[in-house]
Structures are given as structure tokens and as C-alpha cells.
Amino acid sequence: MATDQQKFFMRQAIKLALDNVQNGKGGPFGAVIVKDDQIIASGANSVTRTNDPTAHAEVMAIRAACEQLQSFQLSDCELYTSCEPCPMCLGAIYWARPKKVYFAATKVDAANINFDDQFIYDEIALPHADRQIPFEPLLQDEAIAVFEAWTDSTQKVPY
């Protein structure tokens, strides 16, 4: 059962989503990132306002939190988001590595208002050439040489 504090943080994410809608700033999505029981960053969907298809609430919050913490990982943080993350945000969340994610609305709820990401999940499972946007390998050997340089580098910061 959710604690009052967890409900408070989720309501903050939901409030960001509602404010975004009411102010015409973007889609109905908000997110907050919490560390040590304090909100350290927040984000609201800014796709249409910024003409940036990656400006989803979770991504915006992750960027702000990482900047605040001067770290590319959020391992001691929790993410509260007004809706179950889309595939892009899910990837960003896994790269940021928060310790837990809470969400309110589901991806089915989002699909019901025309934010349907199922086609992305379906596309990921297809062979490259069968996708709606074809993916074609090119210069793999040259790219692998860069990977080898990374592997041999003494200046890298592993993640």
C-alpha cells in the first residue's frame, strides 16, 4: 500500500501533467525525481512546445536530476511519473538506473487518448528490413574499430 509521502510525490507528477495541459505547453505527462525524500527534479512533456520528440516528461526530469546531481546515474533516486513510460522513456530510465519507478496511468490509458506506443513495441521485434522505417547496416567494421578503441582507452568513464 502506498504511503502518504508516495501519494504526495505522485500527485506532484500528476499536477505537472495537468498544468501542462491547462497552460497549453504540451502533452498530459509529468514526472518528478525524488532523492532522500525530497523532489530534486521535475519534468513535463515539452514535445510540441520545443519541437523535440525526445522531450517527454521522464526524459526532461532525468536530464534535470542528472544535472542537479552531476551524475549520469540516479541509483539513489525514485521516479514518479503520471503515466507508464513509453519505450523511449523506458530505455532512458534503465540507462539512468533509478532504484524504483512509480506510475499512475497505464500505457493502455494513454492509448485510449491516442498516445499509443504499441507500434514501437511491435517494430522492435521485427527484422531490420521489415520495419516501417527500414534499418540497414552500413560500415559495421569501422564502427567496431571505434568500440575497440573504447575498450582499450584508459580515459573512459565506464557506465
Provide the annotated active-site residues. Answer: 58
In what helix (H) or strand (E) does residue 9 lie, and over which residues does it extend? helix 4-22
CA distance 24 to 18: 10
Q: In one letter, which amino acid is 152?
A: D
Q: Are 26 and 52 in contact (CB under 8 A)?
A: no
Q: How many helices (H) and strands (E) does the chain have?
A: 7, 4
Q: In one letter, which amino acid is 48?
A: T
In what helix (H) or strand (E) does residue 103 lie, and over which residues does it extend? strand 100-105
